[in-house]
Chains A and B, each alone.
Chain A
Amino acid sequence: MTWTKKILRVNLETGTCTAEPLNLEWARQFLGQRGLATKYLVEETDPKVGPLEPGNKLIFATGPLTGTSASTGGRYSVITKGPLTGAIACSNSGGYFGAELKFAGWDMVIFEGRAPSPVYLHIENGEARLLDASHLWGKTCWETEETIKHHHQDPQLRVASIGRAGENLVLFAGIVNDLHRAAGRSGVGAVMGSKNLKAVAVRGTLTDAYAPAEPEAFFKAVADAKAVLAGNGVTGQGLPTYGTQVLMNIINEVGALPTRNHQDVQFEGARAISGEAMHEPRPTDGKPNLISHNACFGCTIACGRVSKMDPGHFSVKDKPLYHGASGGVEYEAAWALGAANGVSDLEALTYVNFLCNEDGFDPITLGATIGAAMELYELGVLTQEETGLELKWGSAEALVKLGEWTAQGIGFGKVIGQGSRVMCAAYGRPDLSMSVKGQEFPAYDGRGLQGMALEYATSNRGACHVRGYMVSPEVLGIPVKMDPGATEGKAPMLKAFQDLTAVVDSAGICLFTTFAWSAPDIQSMIQPALGGDWSLDSLLLLGERVWNLERRYNLAAGLTAKDDTLPPRLLTEPAKTGPQKGRVADLGKMLPEYYEVRGWSPEGVPTPDTVTRLGL
Chain B
Amino acid sequence: MQKSLKIDANLCTGCLQCEMACAFEHHRTFTIARSRIKVFSFEKEGRKVPYTCTQCDEAWCLHACPVEAIVKDARTGAKKVLEEVCVGCKVCTIACPFGTVNYVAATGKVQKCDLCSGDPACARACPTGAITYVDADWTGLGKMRQWAGKTDTNPAAV
Q: A residues touching B (Cβ–Cβ < 8 Å)? A: 67-69, 71, 96, 99, 102-103, 156, 179, 203-209, 211, 226, 230, 240, 291-300, 302, 304, 306-308, 324-326
Contact = CB atoms under 8 A, between A and B. Distances in A.
Contacts of A306: 46
B33 A103 contact: yes
Nearest to B105: A205
B69 to A, nearest CB: 22
Interface in B99-128: 106, 125, 127-128
B16 A324 contact: no
Give chain B's interface residue range (CB within 8 Å of chain A).
Answer: 20 to 34
Contact of A211 (B21, B28, B44, B127): B28
A300 B47 contact: no
Contacts of A211: 28-30
A96 B29 CA distance: 16
Contact of A103 (B15, B17, B32, B127): B32
**For B33, B44, B47, B125, which residue has the most chain A Cβ atoms within 10 angstroms?**
B33
B24 interface: yes
Contacts of A230: 127
Is chain A's binding surface mostly helix, strand, loop or mixed?
A: loop
B46 A226 contact: no
Contacts of B46: 291-292, 294, 306-308, 324-326
Interface string B16-54: 110011011001111111100000000111111000000
Contact of A297 (B16, B24, B127): B16
B145 to A, nearest CB: 23
A22 to B, nearest CB: 18
Contacts of B44: 324-325
B3 to A, nearest CB: 22
A68 B127 contact: no
B33 A156 contact: yes
B13 interface: yes
Interface of B: 13-17, 20-21, 23-24, 27-34, 43-48, 106, 125, 127-128
27 contacts: A67-B30, A68-B30, A69-B17, A103-B31, A103-B32, A103-B33, A203-B33, A204-B31, A205-B34, A205-B106, A206-B29, A207-B23, A207-B27, A230-B127, A240-B13, A292-B46, A294-B14, A295-B15, A298-B15, A299-B13, A299-B15, A300-B15, A300-B17, A302-B128, A307-B46, A324-B44, A325-B45
A306 B30 CA distance: 27
5 residue pairs, one from A and one from B, having the closest CB atoms: A325-B46, A324-B44, A295-B15, A302-B13, A295-B13
Contacts of B125: 69
A387 to B, nearest CB: 34
Contacts of A296: 15
A365 B29 CA distance: 40
A294 B13 contact: yes
Contacts of B48: 294
B14 A295 contact: yes
Contacts of B45: 324-325
Given A207-B23, A209-B29, 5 more contacts: A204-B31, A204-B33, A206-B31, A207-B27, A306-B46
A208 B29 CA distance: 7
B8 to A, nearest CB: 13
Contacts of B29: 206-209, 211
B89 to A, nearest CB: 22
A309 B34 CA distance: 37
Nearest to B46: A325
Contacts of A307: 46
A306 B128 CA distance: 17
Nearest to B26: A207
Contacts of B33: 103, 156, 203-205
Nearest to A292: B46
Contacts of A99: 30, 32
**For B30, B34, B44, which residue has the most chain A Cβ atoms within 10 angstroms?**
B30
B153 to A, nearest CB: 31
A98 to B, nearest CB: 12
Contacts of A204: 31, 33
